[in-house]
Structure 1
Amino acid sequence: MSAMSNSNWSRRSIFRAAAGMAAAGTLAACGGNNGRGGGSGSGTNLVQFFHAYGEAGTEQAIKRYAKAYSKANVSTTWITGTNFEAKLFSSLLTKQAPDVFEFHPQLQLIKSGQVADLSDIIDPVKDDFNPADIKSHTVDGKIYGVRMIDDPQFFYYRKSMLEKAKVEVPTTLDELLEAAAKLTTDKVKGIDLGNDFTPVQGNLIWSAGADTLDANNQIAYHTDAVVQGLKQLRQLFTSGHVLLDAPTDWWDPSSLNQGLCAIQWGGLWSMPAMQKALGDDLGIFPFPKVGDNGKLSVTNGGWSMFVNAKGKNVEAAKAYVKWLWIEQKKYQEDWALSYGFHVPPRSSIAAQATKLKSGLPAEAVKLFTDYGHFDNIAWDQTMITALNDVIASSVRKGGDPEAALDACDKKVDVELKKLFG
């Protein structure tokens, strides 16, 4: 399935580009069923929005769960193409707004009254959720979303290619640049970090020992180590050792599977397809350390269900979310493990997830546990987009990273004032 996305890095990683809450436009071009009704229930009609997951069977699964719900007619709008966020946000301003939608915890949605408080349905089972998932959805003691899946993201690599080139698994960004050079041949690029490099922007910050925001919700990403890391990414971008025109973007396993690169940034969801293609030749490692005080890092993406607080059927929507994402453990397990791998956010389901208990999946869960960074609810779309711009200007276009971060600071400060006064 997935995790999240950026500018044109389609749909997957915590850091996404979006038009923001003021985006205009309609969903007419988004595909899927915008009509009300179509389920097997009677009475209330509910519409749920999902981004188009890449794994086969996901759309059918979500529609199958909805059909099994008897207390309302639940129809699914399955939004294909890039920029799910912009399409979602613009739709929330129209009469075609969904009753239920998947997204990531963001304070702007709560401050604007867009998402409903779900504490009453989550509190009874709160202790069964990963505490980090509860924390990332909680504001002033109220919980505003139900986590469906956790999606760690890290580097995949072809063991045989590294052995042939006599390359050790990189643990620093310097080593990653050296590895990419040694692994590049006339047919294979050393590394793929996504077509526009934005999938790793959070990791660059975390691996430099910094953070997006500190505990007081002040800017924490503008450090000397992050500036140096941006310069190194620029070096990598211009090196000729990077796959920059992959037929599919980073969230799809094709580039590594087809031998277009030796190392690829990706998510846990891709692991079954990669293991099927590459067998024991597949390895994983976290984003390497950046600078002298660096730390290894893994993105913990994921998706959560939210109820549109401005919809006409808030209580009916909450009842549906409670039924599917709290009560129906067989569906929750199916969603997390049958169409690609995800870490189940509920301990009771994770404890029974035999597919994640050994081999490479178990290694991935350990990376998730040891090095993972979860959503910061205060780090919103506008801030994410501002950081996308830093990558665009300093890494892809070769501008001064210090100046790019200064410009980012101004945008983030404006947003922080809106959120916190």
Structure 2
Amino acid sequence: MNRWPRHRRTTSLLVGTVLTALTLSACGGGAKDDSGAGPVSEKEIQAALDKPTELTVWSWSGSLPDVAKAFEKKYPKIKVNVQNVGTAAEQYTKLQNAIKAGKGAPDLATIEYNAIPQYALTGALVDLERFGFDSLKDKFTPATWDPVNVKGGLYELPLNAGPTAMFYNKKTFDKFDIKVPTTWDEFLEAGVKLKKADPEYHISADSGNAGLTKSLIWSAGGRPFKVDGEDISIDFQDAGTKKYTDTYQKLLDAKVLAPVAEWSNEWFQGLTTGKIATVASGAWMSGILKGSVAKAAGDWRVAPLPSYGSESTTSVNGGGSLAMTEQSDKKLAAAAFLRYVSLEEGADITQASGSFPARAEQLESLEFLGAKDEYFGGQEINRVFADSLASVGGGWQYLPYDVYATTIFNDQVGKAYTGEKSLEEGLKNWEQQLIKYGKEQGFTVN
């Protein structure tokens, strides 16, 4: 599948010690900058495309090799070598090692939105304002533009978006006469009704998912992370987070969620049979269902993420693009390719592979919004995703060590999903560990 945010399968493989090298010190040993120290003109970028150049790009995206071929055809003097050095956590480990060594990093690398701060704040990435790309702000949705801006710098041009939505099995809902829930209270009621009707069925599944937890806190109005350079505040007791905690604890207490790990064979089987009736996720989940739950074609639909009462803000779950490393000595050509990927023909190729676009123009296209998806019973699912993206709450921030935070989530919060402790207690333990780790890395954390 051609999804970028595959980290939910692999991030847990990354042990915490990998990121201990991530400190606030300089990344060390950057290569010569072929764009100079000051602003770069469009004329310089175009001139670079007329010089024999080979770019190295690290990415696990299934569509990027096709994008590279199209770029090479348009600019025959440029060779783009796309290397899959591992998915998400594996690539991040290798990238961090190259940064620490001061050599060996690619010109460009896929970095998910949540991971950008940990690289940008160390000086490992190029601020794209150098190329005037900050002028492209209006080309993208705010929900994807905000995460790629860190402490006044621009570190990616967005490529895909992961607006949250609720995927539900209409066949199961019809079988048990369940209405599509619009609020989390209705979601709980539907879960209880489904469980009473047949204990083998569950309204959803969750055995502990850091990405989903952050997205649901975000949509509830919670803002547990505040980052201002080296100063960090972590608080899982703010009003929005408590709204999420109180609501989700009811689901756990009612045991309406299957204790099944996402991406496991049991999880896919439950989605195929409809015994796991919903999935709250980013828009990219549509491609996962089509590729791995193909036998259930026609059974699934997409609805807005349930709200917390009258409020209807949403969130983002997943997504990423290409970032340029400071070690690159081919920054001009790299800038041209990066822009091609996110705004030009490359973005069209990626979208055709199933990625949900971050480009504002595309999200206003009636043809795009009105496209009927046969897997989802002919539903115009892009409208649901686009509405969600337009309703994303502002002000969300990721920790500058978010990848590490994800790896320890289940160790700290996991027991809440088995009833051994409350969700509030689990989040408090997570908070304490994140504060401790941040201080060890040189941040001021409270």
- Which of the five TM-score ranges fits, normalised by the shorter chain? 0.7 to 0.9
Q: 2:328 aligns with which of 287, 301, 311?
A: 311
String of CA shifts for 1:300-330, please: whole Å, max 9, x gaps.
431121001133434443343234434xx22
Check the 8 A contact 2:107/2:325 in 1, yes or no.
Answer: yes
In structure 2, C-alpha distance between the alignment counterparts of 1:294 and 1:227, rounded to whole Å: 16
Aligned partner of 1:399 in structure 2 is 421
Structure holding more helix per residue? 2
Task: Measure how far apart 1:99 and its partner are.
Answer: 1.5
Task: Measure how far apart 1:155 and its partner are.
Answer: 1.9
1:21-420 correspondence runs (5 A): 21-22=19-20, 43-53=52-62, 58=63, 60-65=65-70, 67-68=72-73, 69-80=75-86, 83-84=89-90, 85-94=92-101, 95-105=103-113, 106-119=116-129, 120-183=131-194, 189-193=201-205, 196-214=208-226, 218-223=233-238, 224-229=242-247, 231-232=249-250, 234-235=252-253, 241=258, 243-244=260-261, 247=264, 256-271=271-286, 281-289=299-307, 297-326=314-343, 329-336=344-351, 338-342=352-356, 344-352=357-365, 354-357=367-370, 359-371=380-392, 376-378=397-399, 380-381=401-402, 382-396=404-418, 398-414=420-436, 418-419=442-443
In structure 2, C-alpha distance between the alignment counterparts of 1:255 and 1:308, rounded to whole Å: 41
Check the 8 A contact 1:324/1:331 in 2, yes or no.
Answer: yes
* Residues 160 and 235 of structure 1, relative CA distance in 2, 3 Å threshold: same
In structure 2, C-alpha distance between the alignment counterparts of 1:132 and 1:240, rounded to whole Å: 29
Aligned partner of 1:31 in structure 2 is none
* Residues 245 and 139 of structure 1, relative CA distance in 2, 3 Å threshold: closer
Task: Measure how far apart 1:419 and its partner are.
Answer: 4.8
Aligned partner of 2:30 in structure 1 is none
In structure 1, C-alpha distance between the alignment counterparts of 2:207 and 2:68, rounded to whole Å: 31
In structure 2, C-alpha distance between the alignment counterparts of 1:267 and 1:160, rounded to whole Å: 22
Task: Measure how far apart 1:147 and its partner are.
Answer: 0.8
In structure 1, C-alpha distance between the alignment counterparts of 2:245 and 2:389, rounded to whole Å: 26
| Number of equivalent positions | 390
Task: Measure how far apart 1:100 and its partner are.
Answer: 0.4
Task: Measure how far apart 1:59 and its partner are.
Answer: 5.3
Q: Aligned letter for 1:411?
A: Q
Q: Aligned letter for 2:326?
A: A
For normalisation by structure 1, the TM-score amounts to 0.75
SS where residue 386 of structure 2 aligns?
helix
* Residues 264 and 226 of structure 1, relative CA distance in 2, 3 Å threshold: closer
String of CA shifts for 1:68-116, please: whole Å, max 9, x gaps.
3434322111245573444443454454322201113432312211110
Check the 8 A contact 1:171/1:296 in 2, yes or no.
Answer: no
For normalisation by structure 2, the TM-score amounts to 0.71
Aligned CA RMSD, in angstroms, stands at 4.0
Higher relative contact order (CA 8 A, sep 6+): 2
Task: Measure how far apart 1:258 and its partner are.
Answer: 4.9
In structure 1, C-alpha distance between the alignment counterparts of 2:135 and 2:159, rounded to whole Å: 17
SS where residue 145 of structure 1 aligns?
coil
SS where residue 218 of structure 1 aligns?
strand
Task: Measure how far apart 1:200 and its partner are.
Answer: 1.7
Deviates more, 1:273-282 or 1:140-149: 273-282
* Residues 246 and 136 of structure 1, relative CA distance in 2, 3 Å threshold: closer
Check the 8 A contact 1:188/1:262 in 2, yes or no.
Answer: no
In structure 1, C-alpha distance between the alignment counterparts of 2:236 and 2:82, rounded to whole Å: 38
Task: Measure how far apart 1:415 and its partner are.
Answer: 6.0
Q: Which structure 1 residue ranges, 5 or more long, are not aligned?
A: 25-39
